[in-house]
Amino acid sequence: MMPCGDHAAPALRGGLILGSARCGSTLVSQILNAHPAVLSVSELFAAVGHNAFRPGHLDGARFWAHMATPSRAMSQVANPDAAPSEFLYGRVPQPAHDPWNCPPILAVALPHLSENPDAMFDMLAEHMRRRPAAPLAAHYDALFQAMARQVGGREIWVERSGGSLVASATLREIFPDAALVLLTRNGPDTALSMRDYPAARLAIWCWRRLGPMGLDLLHPRRHFGRGAAWPLIAAISGRSGVRRIVARRPGLAEIGAFWSALTIRGLQGLGNARPMILRYEDLCRDPRIWIERLGAHLQAGAPAAWLDRTVGLPQPRPSRLAALSSAERDEIEHACAPGEAALAAYAAGVDAAATRP
């Protein structure tokens, strides 16, 4: 592991994987983490949660506090019991922090990059805390630069967080030069997976119950992670409130409507951007072709050793729709139809733009 000093280093390029959650983004992080030129930043924005994109200007100590201060509310949806496969810190031997209430950056991001995430955490803390006041984007750039120095040999950072599509406008504003990848998956299958995921259940509850109060989880400027009210909501909800919320399984129409609303709002936030569209089904069907295209889009290249190492990772899964009755299938397909139509229209526009002379 390399030291985390202040010496000058070439600026990293950036990339963002945008998706609805439960659409194959963990797989994409695994693929990118095997690339020798890519700093794969997994679930950082999602783990930081209500403070991920605010405030717009702050000093290094406050920025690092957002990365390092556990949230009791978020710990109910990000812990070794609630998210066993995604929550990598739960697998760390002899962890320095409580895995059920750990710093957000330690939940997934650092164990994804290092076999000794606690040491990496300590070095990043020393570096980031002494930074002067600066725009939020500058602190993130410095954080990714410091992470890359410790890992070594990286040319581009690529962040992926479940549900990041809702923050597409914010992310484009903070990282205007980042390469964009829109990761999609069949709407009903995605929605069915979200229904059994604690973080998605919490998001649906907030969307349904707080929306009428003017707290719009999907608002392009006041979404979760950016709006000033979300830290207060997280503080007053506590452990017991979140535990009750995530114990409830949403109905099919409710989860399908949420997936559609998130998809439509997120696509609107992309505006005139022209991301690479990566379909989970295509990735599983023809992994070598699409992994190679992903490397090319990120301008990281597609080394033969990387392709050989990762083509076996995508594994098609049976559709969850097969377990539903015909009436249930009609219900969720109907709820997801607006989002599916929006995705199809957006993809057609991207394809048309790509073919123009």
In degrees and rounded to multiples of 5, residue 251 shows phi and psi of -75, 165
| 201-215 pLDDT tens trace | 989 998 998 888 888
Q: pLDDT above 70 covers what percent of the chain? A: 94
- Which pair of tokens denotes residue 122? 């300590």
Q: Would you list the domain boundaries of the chain? A: 13-355
Label the pairing between strands 156-160 and 38-42: parallel
Q: What are phi and psi of 245, to 5 degrees?
A: -65, -45
Which residue's structure tokens are 């995604």? 86
What per-residue confidence (pLDDT) applies to 5? 46
Q: Which tens digit of pLDDT belongs to each residue from 8-35?
A: 566 899 999 999 999 999 999 999 999 9
What is the rounded average pLDDT of the residues 237-266?
89
| Mean pLDDT for the chain overall | 92
**35 three-state secondary structure:** coil
Looking at residue 220, its pLDDT comes to 86
Pinpoint the alpha helices (H) of the chain: 25-33, 44-48, 60-68, 72-75, 104-107, 109-113, 117-129, 136-151, 168-174, 187-195, 198-210, 230-246, 252-270, 280-285, 287-297, 304-310, 326-355
Residue-level pLDDT at 82? 86
Q: What is the pLDDT of residue 232?
A: 66
Confidence of residue 133 (pLDDT cuts 50, 70, 90): very high
Give the type of residue at 284.
C
pLDDT > 70? residue 228: yes
Of 88, 81, 111, 91, the C-alpha closest to 198 is 81
pLDDT number for residue 3 = 43
List pLDDT tens digits, range 164-177. 999 999 999 999 99
pLDDT at 237: 61
User: What is the average pLDDT across 117-130?
Assistant: 98
pLDDT of residue 180: 98
Architecture in CATH for domain 13-355: 3-Layer(aba) Sandwich (3.40)
Mean pLDDT value of segment 311-328: 95
Question: What pLDDT score does 214 carry?
Answer: 84
pLDDT at 6: 47
| CA–CA gap between residue 30 and residue 40 (Å, rounded) | 8
Residue 35 tokens, joined: 């690339």
Contacts of 47 (CB under 8 A, 6+ apart): 74, 78, 104, 105, 107, 108, 109, 161
Q: How confident is the model at residue 53 (pLDDT cuts 50, 70, 90)?
A: very high
Q: What's residue 1's pLDDT?
A: 42
Name the token pair of 81: 């019991």
Neighbouring residues of 265: CB distance < 8 A, sequence distance ≥ 6: 166, 218, 220
Q: State the average pLDDT over residues 41-54.
A: 94
Following DSSP, what letter does each residue of 180-203 receive, concatenated?
EEEEE--HHHHHHHHHT-HHHHHH
pLDDT band at 4 (very low <50, low <70, confident <90, very high): very low
Neighbours of 239 (CB within 10 A): 12
Q: How far apart are CA 228 and CA 54, in angstroms?
A: 8
Res 37 pLDDT > 70: yes
Please tell me the pTM assigned to this model.
Answer: 0.93
pLDDT of 357: 66
